[in-house]
């Protein structure tokens, strides 16, 4: 299968008054055609910054992509000019965000916001764009499409707005959809609708999805392949079933154990002790060592590399799986 997106050794740093934050530190992620890859991790692990780097949204004086390649369709997105990037953004790569309310312009009717990219990227006439927009609104499961076409964002609920965002995102048949916590702000019953719909659209159009979430339940439902991030680093990745059934990294294990599951009762929840380290005071070490029950002396001084284990696609960055070290 062809790779749609190839993030290769990406590093994105933020320069603050107190020091440099390595928000994304040497991260490689590959998304194949028609595949859903989930980046999972807690706040501050760099999952959203990775997505923003792909979209070229890291701008301004404080943040900068300092290293790496973002391969899309044989081109390195980081080498493209702003104009070239604009023809790709919203056209071949689309993005939806956590807060649909703030991503739509409150003073423009919904219809206009859907037709604009159609007219710009697909060169449709106004009339054609309107027809296509109404078709799209129907496709995302909204029945009164004509009526919605003329309404304003504040007249719709959060779930409806997220549907509209998805309609805009898929309007130009993107090859890749980046979804940054698309259902976090929504209620569970609405989340179920949106996830169902995303899966359906993906199957029909063979689009790739890069889904960013903190919810392991959503990951299990959506992902083909999972990337676990911690403090700006990928600590583990693999096929979803393999990773959930046989997590290798102590962090992944802890994360999976600490989530209560419906109809699987336990007396005491497992919890990972401590908290995420301050990104300003990271030293050469495994960034998880302070919270790890299996911490060894090497973990405090050297950073483990992401390596394949057990001849499968699963990769883990942990000294426990380095030959000759775990035994010592």
Partner 1 sequence: MSEPLVEVNHLKKYFPINSGLLNRTVGHVKAVDDISFSIQPGETFGLVGESGSGKSTVGRTILRLHDKTAGEVKFKGIDVHELSGKELRQIRPQMQLIFQDPYSSLNPRVRVGDAIGEALLDHGMLQKGEIRDRVEEVLASCGLSSYHYDRFPHEFSGGQRQRIGIARALVLNPDLIIADEPVSALDVSIQAQIINLFRHQQETRGLTYLFISHDLSVVEHLCSRIGVMYLGSMMETASRDELFRNPLHPYTKALLSAVPIPIPKLKRDRIVLKGDIPSPANPPTGCKFHTRCPFATAMCKEQVPEFRHVGHEHYVACHLV
Partner 2 sequence: MSTMSSEVVKSSRQDHTAVKSSLWTQSMRKLRKNKLAMSGLIFVILMFLACFVGPLFSPYTDGKINVTAMNKAPSLKHWLGTDMLGRDVMTRLLQAGRISLTVGLASMLLSVFIGSILGAIAGYYRGIVDQVIMRIADLLLTIPGLPILFILGALLSEWKVPVDSRMYIVMLMLSFVGWPGLARLVRGQMLSLREREFMQAAVVLGLRDRRKLFNHLLPNLFPLLIVVATLSIGGAILSESVLSYFGLGVTPPTATWGNMIDSANNVIDFEKHPWLWIPPGFAIFSTVIAINIFGDGLRDVLDPKHKK
Q: Which residues bind to partner 1, rule: CB under 8 A? A: 42-43, 157, 159-160, 187-193, 195-196, 214-221, 223, 240-241, 244, 254-256, 258-263, 265-266, 268-273, 275-276
Minimum distance of partner 2 from residue 274's CB (angstroms): 4
**Part of the chain binding partner 2 (CB under 8 A), chosen from 25-33, 241-249, 268-276, 320-328:** 268-276
- For residue 153, what are its two tokens? 């964002």
Judged by CB under 8 A, does residue 274 bind partner 2? yes
**CB closer to partner 2 out of 15 and 310:** 15
Q: Out of 263, 271, 323, 328, which residue is the one contacting partner 2 (CB under 8 A)? A: 271
- For residue 16, what are its two tokens? 């603050």
Judged by CB under 8 A, does residue 268 bind partner 2? yes
Edge-to-edge order in the sheet of strand 208-213:
93-96, 176-180, 208-213, 36-40, 225-230, 233-239, 315-316, 307-308
CB atoms within 10 A of CB 29: 20
Judged by CB under 8 A, does residue 281 bind partner 2? yes
**Part of the chain binding partner 2 (CB under 8 A), chosen from 133-141, 173-181, 199-207, 275-283:** 275-283
Helix or strand holding residue 257 (H, E): helix 250-258
Of partner 1, partner 2, none, which one does residue 277 interact with (CB within 5 to 8 Å by kind)? partner 2
Q: What is the contact mask toward partner 2 in residues 218 to 257, using x (rule: CB under 8 A)?
A: ----------------------------------------
**What Cα–Cα distance (Å) separates residue 180 from each residue in 84, 140, 159, 166?**
23, 18, 15, 12
Are 37 and 224 spatial neighbours (Cβ–Cβ below 8 Å)?
yes
Are 299 and 317 spatial neighbours (Cβ–Cβ below 8 Å)?
no
**CB closer to partner 2 out of 81 and 275:** 275
- For residue 232, what are its two tokens? 């700006």
Helix or strand holding residue 12 (H, E): strand 3-16
Judged by CB under 8 A, does residue 284 bind partner 2? no
**Part of the chain binding partner 2 (CB under 8 A), chosen from 101-109, 196-204, 231-239, 274-282:** 274-282
* Among candidate residues 220, 276, 23, the one with its CA nearest the CA of residue 211: 220
Strand 225-230 and strand 233-239: pairing?
A: antiparallel
Minimum distance of partner 1 from residue 51's CB (angstroms): 18
Residues that bind partner 2 (CB under 8 A): 17, 268, 270-271, 273-275, 277, 281, 290-291
């Amino acid at each position: 299968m062809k790779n749609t997106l190839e993030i290769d050794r990406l590093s994105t740093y933020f320069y603050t008054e107190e020091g440099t934050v390595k928000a994304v530190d040497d991260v490689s992620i590959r998304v194949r055609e028609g595949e859903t890859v989930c980046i999972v991790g807690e706040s501050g692990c760099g999952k959203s910054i990775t997505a923003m780097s792909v979209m070229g949204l890291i701008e301004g004086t404080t943040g900068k992509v300092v290293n790496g390649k973002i391969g899309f369709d044989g081109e390195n997105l980081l080498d493209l000019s702003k104009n070239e990037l604009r023809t790709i953004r919203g056209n071949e790569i689309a993005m939806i965000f956590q807060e649909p309310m703030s991503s739509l312009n409150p003073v423009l009717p919904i219809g206009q916001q859907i037709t604009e990219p159609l007219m710009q990227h697909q060169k449709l006439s106004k009339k054609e764009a309107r027809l296509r927009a109404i078709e799209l609104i129907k496709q995302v499961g909204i029945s009164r499409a004509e009526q919605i076409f003329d309404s304003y964002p504040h007249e719709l609920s959060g779930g409806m707005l997220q549907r509209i965002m998805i309609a805009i995102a898929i309007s130009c048949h993107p090859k890749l959809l980046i979804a940054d916590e698309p259902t976090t702000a929504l209620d569970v019953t609405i989340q179920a609708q949106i996830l169902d719909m995303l899966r359906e659209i993906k199957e029909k159009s063979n689009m790739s999805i890069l889904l960013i979430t903190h919810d392991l339940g959503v990951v299990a439902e959506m992902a083909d392949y999972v990337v676990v991030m911690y403090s700006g680093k990928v600590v583990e990745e693999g096929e979803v079933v393999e990773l959930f059934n046989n997590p290798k990294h102590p962090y992944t294990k802890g994360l999976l154990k600490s989530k209560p599951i419906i109809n699987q009762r336990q007396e005491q929840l497992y919890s990972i002790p401590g908290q995420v380290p301050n990104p300003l005071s990271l030293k050469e070490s495994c960034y998880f060592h302070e919270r790890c029950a299996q911490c060894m002396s090497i973990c405090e001084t050297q950073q483990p590399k992401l390596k394949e284990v057990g001849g499968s696609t699963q990769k883990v960055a942990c000294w426990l799986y380095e030959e000759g070290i775990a035994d010592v």
